[in-house]
């Protein structure tokens, strides 16, 4: 890994991975390509370590000529593909952009990699790598007693978002088996941590609670998710890049299965401890049950035995301490939060998705 292209590197997980790689690998140079849509921000990249090895370019992964030019100019040997539309609620209301970015964008990136690596430079799996970031949502929903998602679990996506990611996964797999493109793929569980855009559950609940706003819980709040601290995810991705078998897929999770209600109650308890004199304490009184979203998957769980047995990885961050670290990050970065809240598109989305939900 000398010259790495990171797509979506101004977003939540992507920006954390940029920071992780620059901090932990003194040899890698990063070309960061991001379209800077609503969830990507250059503020996520302020004060990155090793900034002299980080080159940001604003651009669209669907722009094939731009990709070809960048890969040749920077002699890219590694692609880590984060760029995606990723919010289920948004995919329900407007699936078209998910098809364009997640499917067409991944196809365009695969074509560019195939052309440059396999046709122009004749590189093999020891010299180049295309790593695709995906989600556990491609597997569908689990019943209470069903075994956790393994790499061999059949795909059964239930939302436009999950379907678009499943499609991109299949393309990556096909480009490896058909053309010999050196790929790896990881399916991760719900990430949380610094720089997460506050449309997602954990930052939304933290920021709403601080302002005394309602904490909306879909349905009965007993949907179960596995929660992965973002820095643990970054570590796992780097390990797969270094030691993972070309053509293989690895599931990455946090090794927990709380309900959404338990997550919110834990966040409320943390804020109660931080602000015992707040007029909103106990913050759990702000919880408000609202109409569930269509097709809401009931339970996700990750079987991580493959990545643990093959590569020795397991998450470092326990959920309780990870949530505390996340709350403290948002408390310490109020300027970042204020800038997000100034975005007209963000405020329009919050109004559209939550204000009229009974």
Model pLDDT for residues 121-162, shown as the tens digit of each residue: 999 889 999 999 999 999 999 999 999 999 999 999 999 999
- Domain ranges in the chain are 3-193+228-254+296-317
What residues contact residue 318 under an 8 Å CB cut-off, 6+ apart?
Answer: none
Tell me if residue 161 is catalytic.
Answer: yes
Those residues of the chain that have pLDDT short of 50 are: none
**223-277 pLDDT, tens digit each:** 999 999 999 999 999 999 999 999 999 999 999 999 999 999 999 999 999 999 9
Distance in angstroms (rounded) separating the CA atoms of residues 208 and 220:
19
Catalytic residue among 20, 116, 139, 161: 161
| pLDDT at res. 87 | 80
Provide long-range contacts, Cβ within 8 A and 24+ apart, for 147-151.
147/301, 147/303, 148/301, 148/302, 148/303, 149/187, 149/251, 149/300, 149/301, 149/302, 149/303, 150/251, 150/303, 150/305, 150/306, 151/187, 151/249, 151/250, 151/251, 151/306
Catalytic residue among 34, 136, 232, 297: 136
Tell me if residue 235 is catalytic.
Answer: no
| pLDDT at res. 212 | 97
Q: What is the CATH number of domain 3-193+228-254+296-317?
A: 3.40.50.720
Tell me if residue 137 is catalytic.
Answer: yes
Look up the pTM and report it: 0.95
| pLDDT at res. 354 | 65
Distance in angstroms (rounded) separating the CA atoms of residues 167 and 106:
9
DSSP-derived letter for residue 199 is: T
Distance in angstroms (rounded) separating the CA atoms of residues 270 and 112:
47
């Amino acid at each position: 890994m000398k010259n790495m292209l990171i797509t979506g590197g101004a977003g939540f997980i992507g920006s954390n991975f940029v920071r992780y790689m620059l901090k932990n690998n003194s040899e890698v140079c990063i070309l960061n390509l991001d379209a800077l849509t609503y969830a990507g921000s250059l503020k996520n990249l302020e004060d990155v370590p090793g900034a002299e090895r980080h080159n940001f370019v604003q651009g669209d992964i669907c722009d094939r000529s731009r990709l070809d030019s960048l890969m040749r100019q920077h002699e890219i040997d590694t692609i880590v593909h984060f760029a995606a539309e990723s919010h289920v609620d948004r995919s329900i209301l407007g699936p078209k952009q998910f098809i364009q970015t997640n499917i067409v964008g991944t196809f365009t990136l695969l074509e560019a990699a195939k052309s440059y690596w396999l046709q122009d430079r004749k590189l093999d799996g020891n010299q180049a790598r295309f790593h695709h970031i995906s989600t556990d949502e491609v597997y569908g929903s689990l019943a209470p007693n069903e075994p956790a998602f393994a790499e061999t679990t059949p795909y059964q996506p239930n939302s436009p978002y999950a379907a678009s990611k499943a499609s991109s996964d299949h393309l990556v797999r096909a480009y490896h088996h058909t053309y010999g493109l050196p790929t790896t793929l990881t399916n991760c569980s719900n990430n949380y941590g610094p720089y997460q855009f506050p449309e997602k559950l954990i930052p939304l609940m933290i920021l709403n609670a601080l302002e005394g706003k309602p904490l909306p819980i879909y349905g009965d709040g007993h949907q179960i998710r596995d929660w992965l601290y973002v820095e643990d995810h970054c570590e796992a991705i780097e390990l797969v890049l270094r030691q993972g078998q070309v053509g293989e897929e690895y599931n990455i999770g946090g090794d927990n299965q709380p309900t959404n209600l338990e997550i919110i109650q834990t966040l409320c308890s943390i804020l109660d401890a931080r602000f015992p004199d707040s007029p909103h304490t106990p913050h759990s009184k702000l919880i408000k049950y609202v109409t569930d979203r269509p097709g809401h998957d009931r339970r996700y769980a990750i079987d991580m035995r493959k990545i643990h047995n093959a590569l020795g990885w397991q998450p470092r961050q326990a959920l309780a301490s990870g949530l505390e670290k996340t709350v403290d990050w948002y408390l310490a970065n109020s300027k970042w939060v204020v800038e997000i809240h100034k975005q007209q598109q963000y405020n329009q989305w919050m109004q559209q998705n939550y204000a009229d939900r009974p």
